[in-house]
Structure 1
């Protein structure tokens, strides 16, 4: 646990963050024993040793060009999901030309292997490998600084899969979610991005290699060659066998071409056969089928035992920390937890939008201003109920002004949703203090929220104790909610009258089960009746907004005109991009633009002369699906050579690396998970902490 804190309670928190905190000067005790100051350099030295081992095992003198593949051009990178030496060997042999092993010299091997390379000669490829491993961790998690990534790689001995498990442990990610899935879009995108950073000549080959599956016989043969005699040299015949297996498993056994005239299946009978082809049109699409079998990443066994040994070693780091808890502002680990929670809350908001019917402008205003995720239910349900309740109470605007915003339901300002998330976290941290005195510090509150995924309502004190102090009122005040007293009263009622809460939850359960949207009118009516019947808050909710001065009125009118103009342009552009997507994917539903969730303007130094690029998240509906589908799109201001991108996004990727907060710190746009060029590491801009 960070900073030697002693949080405990009904949730088994354990000790987390020691690897990160022990190497941070802000968390270490002044009299702590010294640790390596430059961990990136230490990791680099480890990797140099791995190249020595790989060189000793590969028959570089017998196979022409093998040494060049190993040492130059980024081919033999140690990036991958096996142990570093196996990654180096497989990545090198994956690019070995076909027949190279067969053409190897038939002369007997030398009695002593010639050391044509010395340690300094591995500098370029070892440095590329080190940077690619760091890049993978930063992209995959999206909430790590480079220094933190180096700390975990150091403790994992540069084993990428083990480093991921260490980080998942510190981020309270458990169960199936903690297992790195080599076939997931998230993993493949991070691998391709990291391979590109390493200068690999074919990043797609490396990504495909690490996500491939092996037939039973091939799996055991590779296991025997790579691990049964891990210190023994590989023969030319061994290299030929490995090369054959790699070529087979990375070549799909068949490909299906789908056209408007019907499906056509082309099957390859053996490795040397030529694919049959048919004339292609823009209306055709090809789908490659993969071999069934064991993932190649499962060749690395015993990771759980290695993780336990790492954690056991890390327990000794607690003596290096200060006796007082770390400061949230100074501790890298706590900042990482904070960013992970922001990602979680972003995911909750997206899921809430998915369940809501197309919101009016006033409901969207309520969602952005008051749709906080703390309360008496789970986070997604809290967002929905808080938004509907705030909307039916009415806003501070006069009725004449409020009616003018009904059509303003698109989010063009990328900071709008971010503000809601930041304020929600403040309320959650305040609410966590009522779960027990041990969670009164910010560090313990963050750890509790990560461990429970922000769902702590069952840990709060009983409703009888809330008579003296309303927990939800205190949380709303800390979050800066526009109506803290009233929101506290709402959730007090839902705790005191659980049958009312059950009715609201049943609306959301039915929508999720049926794959539909919420019955908004019924939910609004139920909340209104409950509020009118039981609420003890009888005072007016709002102070009426004063009349604007003429200059202010003109300014507001100008801002509305700019919004309407921008909204009209973006909707027109997105509708065209979505239409093109539907034409290219004619077998999918016919999508229709619903609401825009965020717009990011990049290349801001360029004038709007056709070079300005926009990245957009939006939702779309179809005749076949009542629930929304989340999309990502990227396009230029007025077209150009850069291709436009449009694709649907899985909702489960909203809180991970695909949630990219761009370096300017001005947006929170969710990127496509299967296109690595659109994924950038999440940074920690000041706006995350000061909004």
Structure 2
């Protein structure tokens, strides 16, 4: 490896969201890439095979599944015809004629080829970019396509630390995000295949399919090819070796465990920049880590919902889940969600129960965000000397289990404070607990008395029956938790606000009826003998809206739980269907796993909905990301991230709280709705008068 010899322009800039730093990092990475191309050119026998130079300039990008120089050589050779001759790509012919005219020789001088590669120091339009610039675009696209919520400036930072080595950058991101084994890079995964395709499209490869085929062939013969290309860089490859390499790259993919390219990439990690050696992660990654944590929290909520009796969820526990079903407490996250949900529903029953077909998505997203805030504050209260970012790292490493995180911190030398009333109060306050004082008393005084019995019930079976839930409810009953008495509302809803509430609730009922019909049609269309139990998450804004004035989008995506009509057990499904009333025949669905990662949908990510998607094609998936890679989509990675930021910050009141409105307790909601209704009906002079009262 060349280390610093490939760098130009000094050390990388590790700051965040700074335009000057982004420009500097691009310059540093391009300087590093230019060094790789010089070494690759020195290894190729251009004097004997002059056609290699134009092929390199057309298709020799530096990204793939090997080290960077091997990638350049392999990508150049994957377009090389067999010895008996095959037609060359048109682009290669044109460039070759141009180069042959320029040099008037059979061998192109390496200096002149390198000068064409280095000519891209000034940003160029896509059609005029050099192979080095196109390589950089491909590197960025692979990382931002493969990793959810990775901004371009973070991708550049990792590429600087990785010396522009793609798989080293992948490993550094995985280390910073504390990925578990099941989440790590697997070359046979759908996510890797699609990210490589998007990178090739972004880099304007002349033949994307051939490039992808060759890249995976390289991975399956990686050690053998590396031993041919890398052993002695001072010796130039012979024409025989070139044709052997080209033929090997055309062989079908036969990956073996020993051929995992990440094994060699791990060895190269140790040669990277010192900041990439596993030291403390810079705080600028906090937003990205928050999203990774929320993904894991969402999986815990799906598991918790699936453990509860579905009829009980639909009739009684849906309100307690989204209002106070937090994942922090003395048990594991799933058990905490169940206990907190049942306690809230038992201690503070709804003033008016009603059955639902779906859990309100916005309130579901909010309780997950609030849970994370509570987990972080709880950990900070117990480990005062760490930062919020370090708390998130501990949570990631210990799969959201606070006690394990505390033990790890203690083993690493941190001073630990007791997990007491103040810790629970900090967590409840950070998570906007609707019954803070009652919850703290429950968690610190009442729950410890029945904790052993509760734990036994939760561990008895994976799926809780209604009778076991009733036993839990009795253990967590008001006689044990002594909740505060219901408040007496000092204000009432205005007539206008009451009318708004009524209309909102009618709209919700209409929407869930529509979703239920569409989901049932999707199950029929696919031949599933399953019955819908509950819709967990929904996004009705999938696809481009019809017009500037019509905000309706063509599709909806949902996750729902369904059980077989014959037999037992629940399955998580994904469904896509049209938002028009008359296209039920186009509805589709399939079973998915809540452990799925790296399967992406640009529309759901932009809306901040954590919907688990399948590998199969759907709106917002492969076709849309391919357009994004070519710069042909109105959604970009930056727009996805900016939209997602709104979702991870949802901790306050939201409009859908009207679904669970309790006139005896929801004073703040009454005040907010009265003000909203008043403003909606106010004249312009009234609005001016109200605004003037807030001028200081």
Report TM bin, short chain.
0.7 to 0.9
Judged with a 3 Å threshold, the aligned counterparts in structure 2 of structure 1 residues 99 and 665 are, in CA distance, closer, same or farther, namely: same
Judged with a 3 Å threshold, the aligned counterparts in structure 2 of structure 1 residues 616 and 25 are, in CA distance, closer, same or farther, namely: closer
2:539 alignment partner, SS class? strand
Judged with a 3 Å threshold, the aligned counterparts in structure 2 of structure 1 residues 470 and 114 are, in CA distance, closer, same or farther, namely: closer
Which is richer in helix? 2
Does residue 50 of the first structure (1) align with residue 40 of the second (2)? no
Judged with a 3 Å threshold, the aligned counterparts in structure 2 of structure 1 residues 23 and 460 are, in CA distance, closer, same or farther, namely: closer
User: Following TM superposition, by how much is the alpha carbon of 1:665 offset from its aligned partner in structure 2, in angstroms?
Assistant: 4.9
Judged with a 3 Å threshold, the aligned counterparts in structure 2 of structure 1 residues 644 and 220 are, in CA distance, closer, same or farther, namely: same
Give matches, 1:144-293, under 5 Å: 144-173=150-179, 176-177=181-182, 179-211=184-216, 221-250=224-253, 291=254, 293=256
User: Following TM superposition, by how much is the alpha carbon of 1:69 offset from its aligned partner in structure 2, in angstroms?
Assistant: 4.1
* 2:641 counterpart residue number: 683
Give matches, 1:419-458, under 5 Å: 419-439=366-386, 441-458=387-404
* 1:390 counterpart residue number: 344
* 2:685 counterpart residue number: none
Judged with a 3 Å threshold, the aligned counterparts in structure 2 of structure 1 residues 26 and 616 are, in CA distance, closer, same or farther, namely: closer
More displaced 10-residue stretch of structure 1: 358-367 or 118-127: 118-127
The C-alpha deviation readout for 1:396-448, integer Å capped at 9, x for no partner, is 5x3xxx23x3134244x4x3322112211221122112322323x43333333
Contact 1:658-1:671 within 8 A present in 2 as well:
yes
Contact 2:47-2:107 within 8 A present in 1 as well:
no
Give matches, 1:17-56, under 5 Å: 23-24=14-15, 38-56=24-42
Judged with a 3 Å threshold, the aligned counterparts in structure 2 of structure 1 residues 341 and 467 are, in CA distance, closer, same or farther, namely: closer
Judged with a 3 Å threshold, the aligned counterparts in structure 2 of structure 1 residues 498 and 147 are, in CA distance, closer, same or farther, namely: same
CA distance in 1, matches of 2:331, 2:12: 34
* 1:14 counterpart residue number: none
CA distance in 2, matches of 1:223, 1:21: 29
User: Following TM superposition, by how much is the alpha carbon of 1:39 offset from its aligned partner in structure 2, in angstroms?
Assistant: 0.3
2:401 alignment partner, SS class? coil
Contact 1:630-1:649 within 8 A present in 2 as well:
yes
Judged with a 3 Å threshold, the aligned counterparts in structure 2 of structure 1 residues 663 and 610 are, in CA distance, closer, same or farther, namely: closer
Contact 1:599-1:616 within 8 A present in 2 as well:
yes
Does residue 117 of the first structure (1) align with residue 63 of the second (2)? no
* 1:621 counterpart residue number: 563
* 2:288 counterpart residue number: 336
Judged with a 3 Å threshold, the aligned counterparts in structure 2 of structure 1 residues 625 and 225 are, in CA distance, closer, same or farther, namely: farther
The C-alpha deviation readout for 1:296-355, integer Å capped at 9, x for no partner, is 553x7553343344364557999xx9xxxx9xxxx5222222232222222222232333
User: Following TM superposition, by how much is the alpha carbon of 1:178 offset from its aligned partner in structure 2, in angstroms?
Assistant: 6.7
Judged with a 3 Å threshold, the aligned counterparts in structure 2 of structure 1 residues 205 and 374 are, in CA distance, closer, same or farther, namely: farther
CA distance in 1, matches of 2:14, 2:530: 50
CA distance in 1, matches of 2:211, 2:568: 37
Does residue 474 of the first structure (1) align with residue 426 of the second (2)? yes
Contact 2:163-2:272 within 8 A present in 1 as well:
no
User: Following TM superposition, by how much is the alpha carbon of 1:458 offset from its aligned partner in structure 2, in angstroms?
Assistant: 4.9
Give matches, 1:328-407, under 5 Å: 331-358=283-310, 359-396=313-350, 398=351, 402-403=352-353, 405-407=354-356
User: Following TM superposition, by how much is the alpha carbon of 1:241 offset from its aligned partner in structure 2, in angstroms?
Assistant: 2.6
Judged with a 3 Å threshold, the aligned counterparts in structure 2 of structure 1 residues 311 and 373 are, in CA distance, closer, same or farther, namely: farther
**Aligned counterpart for 1:90 among listed residues 74, 77, 82:** 74
User: Following TM superposition, by how much is the alpha carbon of 1:162 offset from its aligned partner in structure 2, in angstroms?
Assistant: 0.9
CA distance in 2, matches of 1:683, 1:128: 23
Judged with a 3 Å threshold, the aligned counterparts in structure 2 of structure 1 residues 383 and 185 are, in CA distance, closer, same or farther, namely: farther
User: Following TM superposition, by how much is the alpha carbon of 1:562 offset from its aligned partner in structure 2, in angstroms?
Assistant: 1.9
Contact 2:158-2:169 within 8 A present in 1 as well:
yes
* 1:272 counterpart residue number: none
Judged with a 3 Å threshold, the aligned counterparts in structure 2 of structure 1 residues 601 and 538 are, in CA distance, closer, same or farther, namely: closer
Contact 1:472-1:491 within 8 A present in 2 as well:
yes
* 2:545 counterpart residue number: 604
Task: Give RMSD over aligned pairs.
Answer: 4.1
TM-score (norm 1): 0.72
Contact 2:557-2:574 within 8 A present in 1 as well:
no
2:641 alignment partner, SS class? coil
TM-score (norm 2): 0.72
* 1:310 counterpart residue number: 272
Judged with a 3 Å threshold, the aligned counterparts in structure 2 of structure 1 residues 239 and 445 are, in CA distance, closer, same or farther, namely: same
More displaced 10-residue stretch of structure 1: 84-93 or 369-378: 84-93
1:193 alignment partner, SS class? helix
The C-alpha deviation readout for 1:617-656, integer Å capped at 9, x for no partner, is 333333466122232536464799x9977444332225x5
User: Following TM superposition, by how much is the alpha carbon of 1:131 offset from its aligned partner in structure 2, in angstroms?
Assistant: 1.5
Judged with a 3 Å threshold, the aligned counterparts in structure 2 of structure 1 residues 186 and 664 are, in CA distance, closer, same or farther, namely: closer
CA distance in 2, matches of 1:593, 1:60: 65
2:559 alignment partner, SS class? strand
Judged with a 3 Å threshold, the aligned counterparts in structure 2 of structure 1 residues 96 and 672 are, in CA distance, closer, same or farther, namely: farther
Structure 2 residues without counterparts, runs of 5 or longer: 1-10, 89-104, 121-128, 411-416, 626-635, 652-696
Contact 2:314-2:356 within 8 A present in 1 as well:
yes
More displaced 10-residue stretch of structure 1: 423-432 or 548-557: 548-557
User: Following TM superposition, by how much is the alpha carbon of 1:229 offset from its aligned partner in structure 2, in angstroms?
Assistant: 3.7
* 2:148 counterpart residue number: 142
1:438 alignment partner, SS class? coil
CA distance in 1, matches of 2:205, 2:300: 37
* 2:686 counterpart residue number: none
User: Following TM superposition, by how much is the alpha carbon of 1:249 offset from its aligned partner in structure 2, in angstroms?
Assistant: 1.6
Contact 1:615-1:633 within 8 A present in 2 as well:
yes
More displaced 10-residue stretch of structure 1: 538-547 or 374-383: 538-547
CA distance in 2, matches of 1:96, 1:64: 12
* 1:568 counterpart residue number: 513
Contact 1:47-1:126 within 8 A present in 2 as well:
yes
CA distance in 2, matches of 1:610, 1:424: 32
1:360 alignment partner, SS class? helix
Give matches, 1:658-669, under 5 Å: 658=600, 664-669=606-611
CA distance in 2, matches of 1:501, 1:460: 23
CA distance in 2, matches of 1:169, 1:137: 14
Contact 1:609-1:637 within 8 A present in 2 as well:
no
Contact 1:600-1:667 within 8 A present in 2 as well:
no
User: Following TM superposition, by how much is the alpha carbon of 1:102 offset from its aligned partner in structure 2, in angstroms?
Assistant: 8.0
User: Following TM superposition, by how much is the alpha carbon of 1:520 offset from its aligned partner in structure 2, in angstroms?
Assistant: 3.9
* 1:262 counterpart residue number: none
The C-alpha deviation readout for 1:448-496, integer Å capped at 9, x for no partner, is 323323211356699xx97972532431122101122333334334445
Structure with greater contact order relative to length (CA < 8 Å, sep ≥ 6): 1
User: Following TM superposition, by how much is the alpha carbon of 1:111 offset from its aligned partner in structure 2, in angstroms?
Assistant: 10
* 1:259 counterpart residue number: none
Contact 1:473-1:488 within 8 A present in 2 as well:
yes
1:117 alignment partner, SS class? helix
